Amino acid sequence: MAETDSLYKKNIYSGDIDFLTDQISKITDSLHHEIPSEFVERVRYMTSDLTPFPGKFSFEKFPYFREIVDCFSPLSSTQEVVLMKGNQMGATTAVLETVLLYNIMSDAKAQMYVTADAGLMRTSVQVRIEKMIDNAGARDLIFSQARKKRGSRNTGDTAIAKEYPGGYLHCFGGRSPARFCGLSYPCALADEVDAFPDSIPKEGTVVDLVRNRTNAYTGSKRKIFWASTPLVKQTSKIETLYNAGDRRKFLVPCKHCGTMQELVWHSKNESGYTWGIVWENDEDSEPKYETVGYKCSNPECGKIMKNYDKAIIIPRGEWRPTAKPTAPNTRSYHITPIYNPPGMYSWEDLVRQWAECWDIKNNRLKDKEKYRIFRNTKQGLTFEEMSGKQIQYERAIQFRRTGFILKNNEDGLTARGVPNDIAVQDSGSPILLLVASVDVQDDCLYVDVKGYSAGGVTWTLEFEEIKGNTAEFNGVWDKLDAIIGGKRYVGTDGKVYRIQITFIDSGHNTDYVYEYVKRHSSGVFACKGRDKLAAGETYQFFSSAAQEKIGFSNAVHINTFKLKDKISASLTSSFWITGQPQPAWYPNFREDFRDDYFRQFESEVKEEQKNSVTKQFIGIIWKKKFGAENHAFDTYVYNLAALELLAEGWCKEHLGLPALDWSAFWELAKQGEFYREPG
C-alpha cells in the first residue's frame, strides 16, 4: 500500500513539474504592444461636428498620417517627431489626438500638451479632447473623484488636467512657462509651435522648456511631437526643427506613368520643364476651374491628373527621407493640403485662393498679406520678411495726375472738380465714395480725403493742414467738423458726395480725440496703429473692457505693417498703360500737390527688429527716419482701414454676406449708395 502511494505521488509531482515546465517555456521575453494606428482604428468614433467623414476612424483617406502616429509606439526608436504642415488637413485629429488617446488607453503614461496660448488650449480640450475621450469609451478611466475634498472641484478631471490609471495629461499654454516646472513627462505634444513666443525672459525658449520636461527619460520611452503651420522664416521654430530631422516627403505615383513624386504647387527643372497644379484661363485671365489638374513631374509623361484621382494615388504613396538628420532619432515630415482627400479642400480651391493674392493677367503679386497666408497655410512654407525696402520720392511723384485739380469755394464748404471724367476713362467707373482720415499732432490736424472708384482705384482729393492747439476744443476741431460733417464734394459730372467714414489717430492728445469721437453717433472712429494684428487682420475693435473704459465702441487698432506694405506695393510696383483700366488700388494724386507731400512717402524704411539684450530677430517693422515727416503715409493707412471697415459692414448688414467681398461691395457702390446724382 505504501509502495502504491509513493508511486502515485511520484506520478502527480512529475506531472506538475512537466506542466510547469511547459508553461514556463511559453513565456516570452517581450511584451506585445498594439501600435497606435491599429489602436485608434479599433476604438475611435468621429462625429459629424468634428470631421467631414463621420463614423469609425480610419487612416484609409489619410494614409500619410499612419507612419507618423506609429512613431509613438514603444517599439519605435524615434524620439522626436516633427510635422511641418499646411492647415485644415486633419493632422490634429489624426496625429496629436491619436497619441493622446493611445497614452491614456493603451500604453498609459504621463504626457503634456502645449499649444500657442491658454485660451486656444482650453478650447481644444473642451471642443475636441473631451469628445474624443467620450466617443472612445475612455471616460471611466478618468479619475474625476481623485483627491476630491469637500467643497473642491474634481481635481482629476478638469479643463487642463486628466488623471487615469498609469499616468496623467497636463495641458499648458505656450506663454505660461512657470507651469511647465516641477514634473517630468515621457511624452510631450507641442502644437502650433511657430505661434510660441521666441523666448521668455529668464526662462529660455519654449522648445527648450518642453525638452527639459522629458530629459529624465531615455531611449524609446522619450517621445516629443512638434507640429505647426510655418510662419515667418527668420523666426520659424518648426522649420528649424524640420531641417534637423530627415525631411521626409510623401511620394505618390502618377496615375498615368507610375513615376513617384511629391505633390507641389509649382516647380521647374533646369531645362525649363514645369509641373504641379495647372489650369487654363478665360479671356479675362480668370481661372477656368473645370480645367484644374496636376501635371506629372516626369517630362516624358506630362499628363494631367484630376482632384478625384487622389483617391487612387494617395493610398499608394509612401514617406521617403530626403536628408540625413542632424538630430539623432528624429523624423521630420512635410505635408500640405494638396494631398487632401476628395471631399476636403481641393485643387480647385487652391487655384481660387491663389487668384485672390496673385494678378494672373500681369503675373505679379496682387495682395501681399493674402500671398503670405497662401504660402504658410497651403504650401506649408515659411514667408521671408525683407528689410531695407522703402518708397522712393521719384517713384511716388509719378502718380501725380495732370488735369486732376480740386477747387474749394470761398466758404470752404464745397469743393468742385472730383475727377469723374478721368476716373470713368481710366478705371471704368466714377468715384463711388469718399473716406477721410486725420493725423493728430500737438499743434495741428492733417486731414486726408480720398475717393475710391471700382477696384479700389484711389484718388487723393485733399490733404489739408488745420493749424491750432489740439489739446483744447477750439477752432481746430470745429473746422474738422465742417469738413467731415458738412462739406460737399461735387464731381465733374455733377455727382455730389459727403464723407462716409472718418478715422482719427488717437496717438496724440488721446483724451481730446476720444471726446471728439463721442460727439458723433456714427461714422467717426478713433484709431491706434499697431505693427501687427492677429491673423493678419486689417483692423480689430478695442476689447470690450477697453471700450467700457473709454466710454464708446468706435475705436479700432490698425495693422499698420500690412497696410504700409500695401501702399508701398501700389507706389512701387503699380504699372498702368494709358488706354487700359488702371489696376486695383492704383494711386492718383492731384496735379497741384507739392513735392514735399510726396517726400513723406519715403520717410519710413523697413528694418529688422531685434531683442535689445539677446539680439535675436523679432520681426520686420516700418521705422520712421529721424526728423522726417510721415503724415501723408500715416493718413493713407488710416483711409484704407476705414474703407475696409465700411465695406465689410455693408457686405454683412446690407448684402447678407458672411465676410467682406470687395467685388460685391463695388457693385453695390455703383448703385449710388454713397453719392447723390445731379439735380
pLDDT tens digits along 435-477? 999 999 999 999 999 999 999 999 999 999 999 999 988 789 9
How confident is the model at residue 179, as a pLDDT? Answer: 61
How confident is the model at residue 359, as a pLDDT? Answer: 85
Domain end among 200, 218, 245: 245
> Do 223 and 296 sit in the same domain of this protein?
no
> Do 274 and 200 sit in the same domain of this protein?
no
> Do 277 and 212 sit in the same domain of this protein?
no
Classify 571 in phi/psi space as left (phi over 0), alpha (psi -120 to 50) or beta: alpha
pTM as predicted:
0.70
> Do 278 and 225 sit in the same domain of this protein?
no
How confident is the model at residue 258, as a pLDDT? Answer: 97
CATH number of the domain residue 200 falls in: 3.40.50.300
Does residue 336 contact residue 250 with C-beta atoms inside 8 Å? no
* Structural domain includes residue 500: yes
> Do 547 and 424 sit in the same domain of this protein?
yes
Q: Which DSSP letter does residue 94 get? A: I
> Do 520 and 631 sit in the same domain of this protein?
yes
* Structural domain includes residue 529: yes
For the four alpha carbons of 523, 528, 533 and 538, in that order, the dihedral sign comes to positive
Strand partners for 45: 56
Q: Is 20 helix (H, G, I), strand (E, B) or coil?
A: helix
> Do 230 and 253 sit in the same domain of this protein?
no
* Residue (of 212, 210, 180) closest to 192 by Cα position: 210
Q: Measure the CA–CA gap between 225 and 97, rounded to whole angstroms.
A: 11
> Do 634 and 565 sit in the same domain of this protein?
yes
Contacts of 301 (CB under 8 A, 6+ apart): 254, 256, 257, 259
How confident is the model at residue 150, as a pLDDT? Answer: 41
Give tens-digit pLDDT for 105-153.
Answer: 999 999 999 987 777 777 778 778 888 898 888 898 988 644 444 444 4
- Quick one: cell of 251? 511620394
* Structural domain includes residue 260: yes
Q: How many domains does the chain have?
A: 3
* Structural domain includes residue 40: yes
**Could you list the mean pLDDT of each consecutive 10-residue stretch along the chain, which spans 679 residues?**
50 59 58 85 86 88 96 95 93 93 94 82 80 89 58 63 92 68 87 82 77 86 94 89 96 97 94 95 93 97 97 97 93 97 95 91 79 92 77 91 92 92 95 98 96 97 95 89 94 96 96 95 94 84 94 95 90 79 92 95 86 70 90 97 97 94 95 92
Residue 476 φ then ψ, to 5°: -60, -50
> Do 425 and 401 sit in the same domain of this protein?
yes
Domain end among 214, 245, 276: 245
Cβ-count burial 343-380 (b if 16+ within 10 Å, e if not) = ebbbbbbbbebbbebbebeeeeebbbbbbbbbbbbbbb
Q: Measure the CA–CA gap between 345 and 349, rounded to whole angstroms.
A: 6
> Do 633 and 654 sit in the same domain of this protein?
yes
* Residue (of 438, 428, 390) closest to 568 by Cα position: 390
> Do 241 and 276 sit in the same domain of this protein?
no
How confident is the model at residue 31, as a pLDDT? Answer: 55
> Do 226 and 283 sit in the same domain of this protein?
no
Question: CB-side exposure of 665: number of CA atoms within 13 Å?
Answer: 23
* Structural domain includes residue 381: no
Q: List the domain range (segments joined by +) for residue 574.
A: 393-676
